[in-house]
Copies of this chain bind each other. A is one copy, B any other.
Amino acid sequence: MIKRVILAGFGNVGKEFVKLIDEKRLYIREKYDLDLILCGVLEKEGCIFEDGGIDTSYLINCPLGSQGVLKYTEHYKESYYNYPVLEGDILIECTQSNVKTGGPSINYIINSINRGMDIVMLSKGALATNFNQLMELAGKKDVKIKYSGATAAALPTMDLGVYSLAGAKIISITGVLNGTTNYILNRMFEENISFEQALKEAVEKGIAERENSMDIDGIDSASKILLLANSLMNSNYSLEDVVIKGIRDISKEDILEAKNENKVIKLLCKAYYKDEKLVLEVSPEKVHANSLLGSINGSNKGVVFNTDTMGEIYLIGGASNPRGAAAAALKDVINLCRK
């Protein structure tokens, strides 16, 4: 089976995705009877499109972002288009997340759905702002949307909820879903340093971005628990319905107090029923140091699903990096294409 892929966004994750389909071409063909042909790449300043497939080995040596598209089209002049060409079977959406406005990706996605393309999303923006609209439209057009990359990426939270818990009812979801804040909290705990020092270190190491409010103030975590709840617990919430508290105010004293109780502070995302109403919350909480959620170290993530028939199932780990995120998108593509 041949599937033609269009990639929106040639950032770190987009580039890793191109690398993966380049290196794993034969493996994917043999194991899944699937030929993935990258036909297009969209960026802010232009679009590459080649009907027979882009030269991926050339593209992966081009710089990130629009610069990469321009560099590629210096070499392959006829591949350049100054508008998005959405001619393929699957759109891989990995532009930068903007959970306030949804970002430019909404248009790409809606156009692609209208053309009958399946969608694999890595960015949370459009899902956080326009979840119902996109799902309804996809339903009408008989198009599939997958978004592992937007809900903890290499940690397969959506697969577990949709696939492995089929038939069970999810009573609650509790997770550590943001690697940056987990790293900072862990460093504060281990080194007895302040939030500011730990954040500075995380920025220097490239674990936190310079623009880090989305992580630190809990918005990224909130978007993820929102997506999980809306997808798996039948809710219809938006970001305003999530009670959100970030980790900015956590002091050395808070950490020490937890330590004295043999606890650690984690930025927990929770979806649970209170008086039969589903509540979504993000806030720093003390958990036992030797509990499974307490053991999630470094910039790792983890989640526990509490169910009616299968008990509690923990999912912990998954590479928290661009390659892991790209691998999650590749996984979604393969699963979309399964017979």
Contact = CB atoms under 8 A, between A and B. Distances in A.
Interface of A: 20, 24, 27-28, 32, 154-156, 159-160, 163-169, 290-292, 295, 302, 304, 307, 309-320, 323-324, 326-328, 330-331, 333-335
A324 B310 CA distance: 5
B309 A313 contact: no
Contact of A20 (B27, B302, B309): B309
Contact of A316 (B32, B314, B323, B328): B314
Copies in the complex: 2
B318 A32 contact: no
A320 B156 CA distance: 22
B317 A163 contact: no
Give 8 nearest A-B pairs by CB, closest first. A311-B319, A156-B164, A309-B327, A154-B310, A166-B334, A314-B316, A167-B330, A159-B164
Nearest to A335: B166
Contacts of A310: 154, 318-319, 324, 327-328, 331
A226 to B, nearest CB: 21
Contacts of A291: 295
Contact of A313 (B24, B169, B317, B334): B317
Interface of A is mostly: mixed
28 contacts: A20-B309, A24-B167, A27-B167, A28-B167, A154-B309, A154-B311, A156-B160, A160-B164, A165-B331, A166-B330, A166-B334, A166-B335, A167-B327, A167-B330, A167-B333, A168-B327, A168-B331, A290-B295, A309-B319, A309-B323, A309-B326, A309-B327, A310-B327, A311-B317, A311-B318, A311-B319, A314-B317, A316-B316
A42 to B, nearest CB: 23
Given A24-B167, A295-B290, A314 B315 contact: yes
A312 B304 contact: no
Contact of A312 (B166, B311, B317): B317
Contacts of A160: 156, 159-160, 164
A313 B311 contact: no
Nearest to A304: B317
Contact of A154 (B27, B313, B333, B334): B313
